[in-house]
Structure 1
């Protein structure tokens, strides 16, 4: 275990620095600040996603910028994804010149960031903290359990991911989720929601791994030492946040 921690020192230091920054912003609990944070992360994520999708459409930044500005005022921000898709489709049909790959970063990662913003707007900062500990628990549990006792390969997309690691991650995530569940959620409910969100985060990680393999790159970027890019660090949240918002709307 000591060797694992030592070999991951850079990753751990970066993770702690990120956690400290997120907790400070969460403590301030300002919609504008959260909107600004997610918007900044989205810009970087768009740049990284273009590399993964092997495309270069500079106009996407303008469209996403307008979309994100509108999200500050519109209550159900995730709905704007479909408005943007209709606009893209209309432009494509009229001009026949729009690069069809522009739809890809609209849905991943843009739509997922809109879901995260809506999750915060509807259920408050504690819902983001709950999401944070679930996905972090899944990641930490999978990493250490996989490193120490993982033997069975989970799938072809991510050869380093093991069944033992995934199981350990789901267990840790569920335990964390029970402790940090938001109000009005029963113990049973917190177990189910935490487990499903953690499972979604696993497949969020797998999806990004698939994109990286298709693009033949190791990381989506290099902005975060020991972690890679923004998408490398947020992939689980981009899937988990969608699932959490969907479930919370169904049960609350």
Structure 2
């Protein structure tokens, strides 16, 4: 039925549905439920990344699923990327015909998803809210500021993104995100972490745009009507979550 709606209507319906789902999961605040939800996002994003990188491998999907299952039990999920790196290094050395490009989807999006899970694991649901608010405001702030004041192209990778829009998104996200973050950490730490997270999310978005341009596609997939693929929705989080966790560990 949603296919019969206009693209804008599809985008609105899908967006409202996603917000409702995320709010429901946040209110329940249960590790197993959050892990399962992020796991669905993780597998879809991994599949889309494989397509963008032009890869096909059943064993890669096995390893991706295995890592996420282990992440449920392992106390430091972000460590698992280094486990993957060792396994891939050993495989490359031992199997001379091993496709070295298979490391790419484990760099992106697997590492970012592990860091998102680790943020929830270590800092709880309020920090997850802080992450969501920061990246959402960065994205929407950049869009509306760019529409109003945008004149200078930010990067050839994403011609529609303007420098003025990026500055506007960073400013608004730092202000609003810091207020949310101050409920969890001292205000000055909230300001620093929010700014770093917001800036990283801009380049997360840009990186996914680069991958799509290289692959010659408009969207990473079509799983979300009106929005495109899963990577199109979480690209900023995959860079932002990594920098948020690193900066919080450095400052707290």
Give the TM-score range, shorter chain: over 0.9
The answer as to whether partners of 1:127 and 1:182 remain within 8 angstroms in 2 is: no
What RMSD in Å do the two structures reach over aligned CA positions?
A: 1.6
The superposition leaves residues 174-210 of structure 1 with CA deviations (integer Å, 9 ceiling, x where unpaired) of 1221221154522222222111110000000000011
Give the aligned length.
247
5+ residue gaps in structure 1? 1-5
Could you state the TM-score of these two structures normalised by the residue count of structure 2?
A: 0.93
Give me the whole-angstrom Cα distance separating, in 1, the residues matched to 2:10 and 2:170.
Answer: 24
| Aligned counterpart, 2:135 | 135
Q: Matches of 2:18 and 2:76 in 1, distance apart? A: 28
Contact 1:57 1:99 in 2 (8 A): no
Which sections of structure 2, spanning at least 5 residues, go unmatched? 1-5
- The alpha carbon displacement at 1:84 in A equals 1.3
Of the structure 1 ranges 118-127 and 57-66, higher mean CA displacement relative to structure 2 is found in 57-66
Change (3 A) 1:23 1:182: farther
The match for 2:188 is 188
Cα deviation digits, residues 193-252 of structure 1 (max 9, x gap): 111110000000000011111111111011112221110100000100001111111122
1:52 aligned partner? 52
* Aligned equivalents of 1:154, 1:92: Cα separation in 2: 38
Partner in structure 2 of residue 104 of structure 1: 104
Output aligned runs, 1:104-123, within 5 Å.
Answer: 104-123=104-123
Tell me, in whole angstroms, the C-alpha distance in 1 between the residues paired with 2:202 and 2:88: 30
The one-character-per-residue Cα deviations of 1:108-131 (angstroms, maximum 9, x if unpaired) are: 100110011111000001111000
Equivalent positions of 1:68-107 (< 5 A) are 68-107=68-107
Tell me, in whole angstroms, the C-alpha distance in 1 between the residues paired with 2:125 and 2:22.
11
Deviations 1:44-83 (A, max 9, x none): 0111001111111121110111111111111110111111
Tell me, in whole angstroms, the C-alpha distance in 1 between the residues paired with 2:147 and 2:183. 35
Give 1:37's aligned residue.
Answer: 37
Q: Provide TM-score, normalisation by structure 1.
A: 0.93
Distance in structure 2 (CA, Å) of the matches to 1:96 and 1:85? 17
